[in-house]
Amino acid sequence: MNNCIGIINLDENEQRINELTRHRSLASLPIAGRYRVIDFVLSNMTNSGVENIGIFTKNKSRSLMDHLTNGRPWDLHRKNDGLRVFNFADLDPSHDDIHNFWENIDFLEYSRRDYVLISSSYMICNIDYNEVLNYHREQGNDITIVYKNVKDCKENFTDCEVLNLDDNSNVISIGENISYRSNSNINMEMYIMKKSLFIDIIYKSIKSGMYKKVKQFIGDNLKDLKVRGYEFKGYLACINSIKAYYDANMDFLKEKVSKELFYSNSPIYTKPKDECPTQYTENSSVVNSIIANGSYIEGTVRNCVIGRKVFIGKDSVLENCVILQNGMIEDGVKMNRVITDKGVVIKKGEELKGLEDNPVTIPKKRIF
């Protein structure tokens, strides 16, 4: 994969997760205790041997830039190639990413790589892109799109794109999951193609004025291009709503999912934080939970994901909750199915309970 440019296109629609992305990009949203959403795709690329990665951002990128630093956690702090971040486009990439690529076309044209791997950030998985590239070459495809056959589309992956395939995995059309059918081929928004073809798509889209999105060009030109699907069979989550974010965090508590994502031969890397180990008092009780470093636990925690530097007071009981870093849960609090953003304070004796399909979400730095 060192002959491939990696492009992470932050064009995700954040409308259904706005409570958590009001002050940050979706890519920099904390997840699984100590990680950020973008860590998964970045790690997948570097584990696959991609050495030249460009991240095309939009607004609210301060948190993302702070997390990425110089790319060192992913071995991308290099004199040549490495990590590049482009955030100079005037248009929102969720509606127009073509101009974002056009304004930074030099990144592509000056590269010595022959292939381009394009991915969004919000598809959570652990994938080896070498297998996808080998399939792409063997089949002689113009474009290869990674997909997963999902059995629970009525409940999950709402608003994600769906690939309609023939018996030979050729992409016939690209639709949208409207939760009508249980079984669908979910587009993981990962594309491999020749660099020359990608540049040609950008030029044609700009010249014609007909296309604002790369995926729109691909969908409208399936008859002229050999576009095939590559089936991914591992764990997949799409962080495009509050419910999806909550469900993914709960999935990480399952042994099978946790082993596949975090304990395989392709680890997920993140920016390190030098924190002391979490302290547990003799009266604390923790069951089936992920707890990051630097926290202090006096109460009871069951089936929760806890970020860094979280304080949980005496006699407090937390079940099925996601608590982001620097949170303070005072004494005697009862919480079930609750998400608290960074720096949230829950005062003494409060009780909060959400629904299984609609967890309570408390925005950043609120006092409740």
What pLDDT is recorded for position 252? 98
pTM of the model: 0.96
Residue-wise pLDDT for 241-263, tens only, equals 999 999 999 999 999 999 999 99
d(CA 365, CA 341): 7
What's the rounded mean pLDDT across residues 226-246? 97
Using CA of residue 201, residue 202, residue 204, residue 210, what is the dihedral sign? positive
Task: Give tens-digit pLDDT for 336-352.
Answer: 999 999 999 999 999 99
Interatomic CA distance for residues 96 and 243, integer angstroms: 26
**Rounded mean pLDDT of 147-162?**
92
Residue type, 145: I
Q: Where are the domains of the chain?
A: 4-262, 279-362
Among 5-14, 118-127, 320-329, whose mean pLDDT is lowest?
5-14
Bridge partner residues of 119 (DSSP):
8, 190
Query: Which is more confidently placed, 180 or 281?
Result: 281
Specify the higher pLDDT residue, 325 or 89: 325
**pLDDT the model gives residue 257:** 97
Q: Is pLDDT above 90 for 280?
A: yes
Query: CA 297 → CA 33, 150, 288, 309, distances in Å?
Result: 15, 38, 14, 10
CATH superfamily assigned to domain 279-362: Hexapeptide repeat proteins (2.160.10.10)
Least-confidence region, from 149-158, 295-304, 307-316, 343-352: 149-158
- Judge whether 189 and 232 are in contact, CB under 8 Å: no
Mean pLDDT on 225-238: 97
The number of beta carbons lying within 10 Å of the beta carbon of residue 279 is 12
pLDDT at 154: 83
The total of other beta-carbon atoms located within 10 Å of residue 327's CB is 24
The set of residues, in sequence order, having a beta carbon less than 8 Å from that of 219 and lying 6+ positions away, is 173, 174
**Quick one: pLDDT at residue 94?**
64
Calculate Rg over the CA atoms of the chain. 21
What is the pLDDT at residue 93? 65
4-262: which CATH number, 3.90.550.10, 3.40.50.150, 3.40.50.300, 3.90.870.10?
3.90.550.10
Is 217 within 8 Å of 211 (Cβ atoms)? yes
Q: Categorize the per-residue pLDDT at 127 as very low, low, confident or very high, splitting at 50, 70 and 90.
A: very high
pLDDT the model gives residue 155: 87
Find, among 33, 9, 24, 32, the residue nearest to 67 by Cα: 24
Residue 271's pLDDT is 95
